Chains A and B, each alone.
Chain A
Amino acid sequence: MSVDGAALGVRLRERDLSSAPAVLNLLESTAAADREQSARLLAEVSPAALGGEAPGHVIGVTGPPGAGKSTLLSALLHRWRELGQTVAVLAVDPSSRRSGGSLLGDRARIEFDPADRGVFIRSTSSGERHGGLAWATRSGAQALAAAFDAVVVETVGVGQAETDIADVADTVAVVVQPGSGDVLQFLKSGIMEIPDVLVVTKSDLGQIALSARRDLAAALRSLGRRHTPVLAVSSLAPASGIHELAAALADHRGEIDIGARRLAARRAGALRDFAVEYGEHGMRLVGGRSEAEKWLTRQDPKLNIPALFDCLRERMSERAQ
């Protein structure tokens, strides 16, 4: 017997934070009955049901391993709680390709008060799609944004994960540590999309951190993105730059047209789910990628990803006949 997805969706809409564990349990399930309930849950927190976009700020935090993401998150979490904001963190760890199992160790590095009901942390594996975000993580982030003030999706790596995260997050922060040149190279070569906020950790390293920050800022200028903030933070005591980072993330959200960004993300997400499910053949049936993208822009903007996915599927069956 599956749980009642619609009821869970209502609880989220009413900002009942204690529903979060059950919401993720349901969204992660691939059982047929659970999938049906998941769709009901998501329908309850869709823009149509909410009468607009979900109020929470979805923030993607990504960067190479060892850049200090978890420590940074601990400090940010602390800051947000000081400001009275509720926070959900979805920490994504890569799975073992051999066994399919995963070791989710990030949670241990994020410090929080276990009695604090305003914080929810969930570790998930990246699932079968290596490097990408699992379906449950994307839909989970969107669902939790109905109830939590801030929803963080944390992923490891630069490249695939970073593009994936741009499809779910309102604001993407890429975290790098000084002395690692990868990000600079990726930015210059265009492998990496330009993030909304760049964070250089370990600013206690002094000169190295300063010059890393300078190099990144110079690279952004040469790419014509001089306004992209580059922040230096130190999560170690005495922590520094955390208040500024929290402010920069909030500023970014204030500057963008959140409705347009999420709408684009929903359409891109639906198309990607469709491509995963039906492959090249399915794509051809809906007229190819760019044709499908155009077609999606003509659909109701209030539709959520599962609904858009269904539209694509219908279009495919129509055109197959």
Chain B
Amino acid sequence: MRTYAGHSTAKASNELYRRNLTKGQTGLSIAFDLPTQTGYDADDELARGEVGKVGVPIAHRGDMAMLLYGIPLDQMNTSMTINATAAWLLALYIVAAEEQGVDQSQLQGTTQNDIIKEFLARGTYAFPPAPSMRLIADMIAYTVQQVPKWNPINICSYHLQEAGATPVQEIAYAMSNAIAVLDAARERVPQETLGQVFGRISFFVNAGVRFIEEHAKLRAMSILWEEIGRERYGVSDTRHLRFRYGVQVNSLGLTEAQPENNVQRIVLEALAVTLGRNARARAIQLPAWNEALGLPRPWDQQWSLRIQQVLACETDVLEYPDIFEGSKVMDALVEELLQGAREEMAVVAEHGGAVQAVPYMKAALVESHRERIRRIESGEQTVVGQNRYVESEPSPLTADAEGGILVVDPAVEAEQIEAVRRWRSERDQAAVDAALAELARVAAAEDHGENLMIPTIAAARAGATTGEWARTLREVFGSYRAPTGVGEASGVLADGELAELREQVAKLSEQLGRRPKILVGKPGLDGHSNGAEQIAVRARDTGMDVVYEGIRLTPAQIAASALQEGVHVIGLSILSGSHRELIPAVIDALHEAGVNVPVVVGGIIPEHDIAALKQAGVAAVYTPKDFDITRIMRDIVGLVSAGGPNGDGASNGRA
């Protein structure tokens, strides 16, 4: 039992971990901030506004030692939610253990390290697919020998469901992903250890509120996993063939409207992964009730921990053998999911496997998500408190000044910048330079003959920083932008409201002389692009020209694009909590470029921040409770109309 945590600084997070451990938590689950996840130091331009926001910033071995101070690593099971930079963070963890006098062979835990889902759903990738897979294979080869109790990779179907995956897609893409990893690892490890490698692969799945079907999904996954192990990789040891998974229950279904309802959703979702013993989770993480509002506070996390404790210690759920054994209904449901998943896996295989099929899978997910939103908008799918039973008494839970969430002190960023610069000036620079040169040499070697973990650990020991490690590899591997999946999303038939809106857009096009053009993008490092993608697709469906810029944009990039593209309106999405810094920065950059068009913002924006954003010049702010995208579109079209018949003059940037 643990809660996903980390924020502000290594020191503050260390205090939080030690407090949670005394409350009965049995392991650590480390959340890193976005710059750490994507390989930038706090003083990088792209890190602006993101430092210490969604997790803890870790720039070097000093930060890691501080984070784990007073926590005995030989007794700890540590889960690190880290992907693109997983090899680096594991290296820092190994070095921190060394400093505590703990040998790496004693370390236990998991690095998430699932890069394909980053390309598909979460967006915190750093390198192109092929070298990313090589890093993963190298980590597997290294840990299997040197850190045998470590789970080097945790295949996450969790984020796929968050991105809109149906149960069939979740199963099929997770399994295809695991196959791609195992195929890559097979070339890097001795044949006789393949069974062991197979056994070290664990999964991180999602559980939604349709908990019967979700339970069936997990049973189907266990069956498929064993089948793949036996048939594709010749694994026969039953211990290695067990489908091991942890779970974080669904956040996508959590609502900002009447957030207290999220507590019962979380409980029901937890049942999906605990009810039947044959498909029970090994570890459960429950989100906090107020995730859709902002960063949870320690008290919110305690509540989530207590839910698990009630389930485990008060109920009888753990006392029986598998309660679905022999159930015809469950068996049929499992069979149906298996069949669908096998068909979908065949499609992925036809594309050449999961790495090659990223564009296909991405497009399929955008499409599923679009369908889900359509059902909620039309009322076909009920979300209590959001599209049905919406009347509510005032909530005492969100009544306090900060609206019931944690706010990271903006001073944290300045301190971290100062700290990383001090670290760089005080270390042995020659040793760092040599270590990074060696890393570059191994990375560039054509035969990929040497394991990247060796120079990575050496660089960690020498005192290199996260940004330096990633930059060295970016220079060798090149940088990369994942497919957006929006181009392929099918258009919808215009009915009722949408048809009306389309007519309005057609009229507006005549007034303007050309189609209204919108720029949609995500400033900062937050890679959760589902919302932005859906806005982009819907804007196209209303008849607008949409420049979809994707993720990881600097304010200067947004301003340059807006100017060059001659857009009439700009839509920005931020979920990481960095809107207070980034949105005003974008607006300043737009002014500087001479672009004067309305800006709308969507994302997890706490109620009390909205006024400040509007003050800064934002025309409208949308939060998760604004689920009706057609309504948002109507507002946007209205904003462009109000810009006058010749809105074009505004974005010419004559300055």
User: How far does the alpha carbon of A212 sit from the alpha carbon of B560 in the complex, in Å?
Assistant: 38
- Stretch of A96-104, A184-192, A253-261, A272-280 lying at the B interface: A96-104
Q: Which residue of A has the minimal Cβ distance to B561?
A: A107
Check B484 against A125 for contact (C-beta < 8 Å). no
Check B652 against A2 for contact (C-beta < 8 Å). no
The proximity string for A residues 1-12 relative to B, scoring 1 for CB distances below 8 Å and 0 otherwise, is 111000000000
Q: Which residue of B has the minimal Cβ distance to A94?
A: B487
Segment 331-377 of B: residues with Cβ below 8 Å from A: 359
Which chain A residues border B565 with CB–CB below 8 Å? 21, 104, 107, 122-123
Given known contacts A3-B652, A96-B540, A103-B486, what 11 new A-B pairs fall within 8 Å (CB)?
A2-B646, A28-B566, A99-B494, A100-B543, A101-B505, A101-B545, A101-B546, A103-B489, A103-B536, A103-B548, A122-B566
- B654 touches A (CB below 8 Å): yes
With contacts A24-B566, A34-B513, A105-B487 known, is A99 near B550, CB below 8 A? no
Check B564 against A103 for contact (C-beta < 8 Å). no
Closest CB of chain A to B285's CB: distance in Å? 33
Check A96 against B541 for contact (C-beta < 8 Å). yes
User: How far does the alpha carbon of A21 sit from the alpha carbon of B515 in the complex, in Å?
Assistant: 15
Which chain A residues border B502 with CB–CB below 8 Å? 99
Q: Which of A21, A97, A115, A123 contacts B653 (CB 8 A)?
A: A21
Closest CB of chain B to A281's CB: distance in Å? 26
User: How far does the alpha carbon of A158 sit from the alpha carbon of B481 in the complex, in Å?
Assistant: 25
Q: Which residue of A has the minimal Cβ distance to B595?
A: A21
Check A29 against B548 for contact (C-beta < 8 Å). no
Closest CB of chain A to B56's CB: distance in Å? 30
- B453 touches A (CB below 8 Å): no
- A296 touches B (CB below 8 Å): no
Q: Which of A20, A93, A114 contacts B559 (CB 8 A)?
A: A114
Q: Which of A18, A21, A101 contacts B566 (CB 8 A)?
A: A21
Which chain A residues border B505 with CB–CB below 8 Å? 101
Closest CB of chain B to A217's CB: distance in Å? 26
Q: Which of B514, B543, B559, B564 contacts A29 (CB 8 A)?
A: B514
Check B478 against A236 for contact (C-beta < 8 Å). yes
Which chain A residues border B564 with CB–CB below 8 Å? 20-21, 120-122
- B512 touches A (CB below 8 Å): yes
Which chain B residues border A34 with CB–CB below 8 Å? 513
Which chain B residues border A20 with CB–CB below 8 Å? 564
Check B550 against A108 for contact (C-beta < 8 Å). yes
- A81 touches B (CB below 8 Å): no
- B542 touches A (CB below 8 Å): yes
Interface, chain B (partner A; CB < 8 A): 128, 130, 359, 444, 475-479, 481, 484, 486-487, 489, 491-494, 502, 505-506, 510, 512-515, 536-537, 539-550, 554, 556-557, 559-561, 563-566, 646, 648-649, 651-654
Q: Which residue of B has the minimal Cβ distance to A179?
A: B352
Most chain A CB within a 10 A radius of its CB, from B128, B502, B540, B557:
B540
Check A107 against B554 for contact (C-beta < 8 Å). no
Segment 227-277 of A: residues with Cβ below 8 Å from B: 236-239
Most chain A CB within a 10 A radius of its CB, from B479, B494, B554, B648:
B648
Instruction: Name the 6 nearest CB pairs between A and B, nearest first.
Output: A237-B478, A29-B513, A31-B513, A114-B560, A22-B652, A101-B540
Check A102 against B540 for contact (C-beta < 8 Å). yes
User: How far does the alpha carbon of A107 sit from the alpha carbon of B100 in the complex, in Å?
Assistant: 49
Closest CB of chain B to A239's CB: distance in Å? 8
Which chain A residues border B444 with CB–CB below 8 Å? 238
Q: Which of B510, B514, B546, B554 contacts A104 (CB 8 A)?
A: B546
Check A30 against B649 for contact (C-beta < 8 Å). no
- A111 touches B (CB below 8 Å): yes
User: How far does the alpha carbon of A31 sit from the alpha carbon of B647 in the complex, in Å?
Assistant: 13
Check B487 against A107 for contact (C-beta < 8 Å). no
Which chain B residues border A122 with CB–CB below 8 Å? 564-566
- A214 touches B (CB below 8 Å): no
Tally chain A residues at the interface, Cβ within 8 Å: 43
With contacts A99-B491, A100-B515, A103-B487 known, is A1 near B566, CB below 8 A? no
Q: Which residue of A has the minimal Cβ distance to B477?
A: A237
- A25 touches B (CB below 8 Å): yes
User: How far does the alpha carbon of A101 sit from the alpha carbon of B359 in the complex, in Å?
Assistant: 22
Check A99 against B543 for contact (C-beta < 8 Å). yes
Closest CB of chain B to A312's CB: distance in Å? 25
Check A123 against B566 for contact (C-beta < 8 Å). no
Q: Which residue of A has the minimal Cβ distance to B489?
A: A103
Interface, chain A (partner B; CB < 8 A): 1-3, 18, 20-22, 24-26, 28-31, 34, 66, 93, 96-105, 107-109, 111, 114-115, 120-125, 236-239
Closest CB of chain A to B643's CB: distance in Å? 13
Closest CB of chain A to B535's CB: distance in Å? 11
Which chain B residues border A238 with CB–CB below 8 Å? 444, 476, 478
Closest CB of chain B to A26's CB: distance in Å? 8
Check B540 against A103 for contact (C-beta < 8 Å). yes
User: How far does the alpha carbon of A255 sit from the alpha carbon of B481 in the complex, in Å?
Assistant: 37
Which chain B residues border A115 with CB–CB below 8 Å? 556, 560
Most chain A CB within a 10 A radius of its CB, from B486, B513, B544, B563:
B513
Check A21 against B563 for contact (C-beta < 8 Å). yes
Check B549 against A107 for contact (C-beta < 8 Å). yes
Closest CB of chain A to B447's CB: distance in Å? 13
User: How far does the alpha carbon of A65 sit from the alpha carbon of B359 in the complex, in Å?
Assistant: 12
Check A114 against B512 for contact (C-beta < 8 Å). no
Check A25 against B648 for contact (C-beta < 8 Å). yes
User: How far does the alpha carbon of A109 sit from the alpha carbon of B546 in the complex, in Å?
Assistant: 15
Check A21 against B546 for contact (C-beta < 8 Å). no
Which chain B residues border A105 with CB–CB below 8 Å? 484, 486-487, 548, 550
Q: Which residue of B has the minimal Cβ distance to A75?
A: B478
Q: Which of A31, A101, A239 contacts B543 (CB 8 A)?
A: A101
Which chain A residues border B494 with CB–CB below 8 Å? 98-99
Most chain B CB within a 10 A radius of its CB, from A2, A34, A103:
A103
Which chain A residues border B478 with CB–CB below 8 Å? 236-239
Q: Which residue of B has the minimal Cβ distance to A112?
A: B560
Q: Which residue of B has the minimal Cβ distance to A156?
A: B487
Which chain B residues border A107 with CB–CB below 8 Å? 547, 549, 561, 565
With contacts A21-B566, A104-B546, A122-B564 known, is A111 near B479, CB below 8 A? yes
A-B contact pairs, 7 of them (CB 8 A): A21-B652, A25-B652, A29-B514, A99-B491, A104-B546, A104-B547, A122-B564
Which chain B residues border A114 with CB–CB below 8 Å? 554, 556-557, 559-561
Q: Which residue of A has the minimal Cβ distance to B128?
A: A236
Q: Which residue of B has the minimal Cβ distance to A124?
A: B545
Closest CB of chain B to A115's CB: distance in Å? 6
Which chain B residues border A121 with CB–CB below 8 Å? 561, 564
User: How far does the alpha carbon of A133 sit from the alpha carbon of B537 in the complex, in Å?
Assistant: 23
Check A93 against B487 for contact (C-beta < 8 Å). yes
Check A108 against B491 for contact (C-beta < 8 Å). no
Most chain B CB within a 10 A radius of its CB, from A26, A93, A100:
A100
With contacts A108-B549, A123-B547 known, is A101 near B648, CB below 8 A? no
With contacts A103-B537, A123-B547 known, is A96 near B491, CB below 8 A? yes
Closest CB of chain B to A112's CB: distance in Å? 8
Closest CB of chain B to A271's CB: distance in Å? 25
Closest CB of chain B to A92's CB: distance in Å? 12
User: How far does the alpha carbon of A237 sit from the alpha carbon of B561 in the complex, in Å?
Assistant: 25
Closest CB of chain A to B638's CB: distance in Å? 17
With contacts A105-B487, A111-B479 known, is A22 near B547, CB below 8 A? no
Closest CB of chain A to B87's CB: distance in Å? 18
Which chain B residues border A120 with CB–CB below 8 Å? 564
